[in-house]
């Protein structure tokens, strides 16, 4: 899956931190430096897996820890309406390594 930012979500990045505002719920969320790096990777990459690989190359972190933290963030972002999940096309899925693919999560 890949993530996209809904039109009703505003983002403001100040230095290395971000504030996200969901205009529908009128709630705002703050991201620290690490969360902002993850947000940027997730919302600009072709897929969640590509974002994971980019972050793994950029930061000195255990792969299992990054995968868990990234999955947690994705679930929270989707749950709060800050991103939408878009399924990958058949061709895009073929490029992903099946054992490394993230499971899709949908908002309740």
Chain-centre distance for alpha carbon 82: 10
Q: What is the pLDDT of residues 32-64, one digit of tens each?
A: 999 999 999 999 999 999 999 999 999 999 999
pLDDT score recorded for residue 89: 59
- Sketch out the chain's domains with CATH numbers: 2-99 (3.90.930.60)
Q: What is the longest distance spanned by two Cα atoms in the chain?
A: 39
pLDDT at 69 over 80: yes
CB 5 within 8 A of CB 92: no
Q: Any idea which residue has 């809904």 for tokens?
A: 6
- Interacting residues of 108 by C-beta distance below 8 A, sequence separation 6+: 79
Report how far residue 24's alpha carbon sits from residue 80's, in angstroms, rounded to the nearest whole number: 10
Write down the pTM of the prediction: 0.77
């Amino acid at each position: 899956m890949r993530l996209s930012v809904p039109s009703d979500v505003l983002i403001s990045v100040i230095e290395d931190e971000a504030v996200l505002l969901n205009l529908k719920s009128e709630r705002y969320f703050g991201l620290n430096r690490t969360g902002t790096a993850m947000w940027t990777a997730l919302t600009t990459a072709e897929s969640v897996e590509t974002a994971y690989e980019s972050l793994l190359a950029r930061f000195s972190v255990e792969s299992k820890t990054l995968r868990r933290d990234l999955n947690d963030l994705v679930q929270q972002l989707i749950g709060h309406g800050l991103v939408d999940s878009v399924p990958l096309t058949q061709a895009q899925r073929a490029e992903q390594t099946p054992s490394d693919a993230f499971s899709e999560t949908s908002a309740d």
